[in-house]
Structure 1
Amino acid sequence: MAQTCGWGLYGSPRDLLQVSEAEIVAAFGHDKPTRAEFERLSDATYSPLLEDDGRGRGRCLVLFQGGVPEAVVFWGHSGD
């Protein structure tokens, strides 16, 4: 089961889901993606990792530099 990054608009722990290790490895080929790798993926025409998870839902992913966590990226849709 995916880890939650926090609480969302509707108070459900499913409102903001951390990308699972299996999804990370499938998208990047390893478990510590960098900012540059994520930017290449987000510039792609289609990526299952960035697929819409519905209104009021979001995803988050830790990015690494030199094997050390550097940033967290968030994406998704508001509930508006």
Structure 2
Amino acid sequence: MRIFAVLLLLLVLIGGIGFYRGWFSMSSDQDDPESRKSNVNLTVDRDKMDADADAVKVKVQELTDEAKDAVTTR
């Protein structure tokens, strides 16, 4: 049961971050107002996800280099 709760929490966390960062978006439309049916679309922006991943890699590399410089200057 705990594993299920952890997985659900991770899913919600990733979904929340994804919507906040613009990785995911939702849209809906109603073709015929009288039919009471709506189409809901989920769009995944893989380019945005890749750009954010690359930015994180660059930042981690910069922080790693700074940490190495701080250790060697001691």
Q: TM-score with structure 2 length normalisation? A: 0.30
Larger Rg: 2
Give the strand-richer structure, 1 or 2: 1
Question: Which protein, 1 or 2, shows the higher relative CO under an 8 Å CA cutoff with sep ≥ 6?
Answer: 1
Give the helix-richer structure, 1 or 2: 2
Q: TM-score with structure 1 length normalisation? A: 0.29
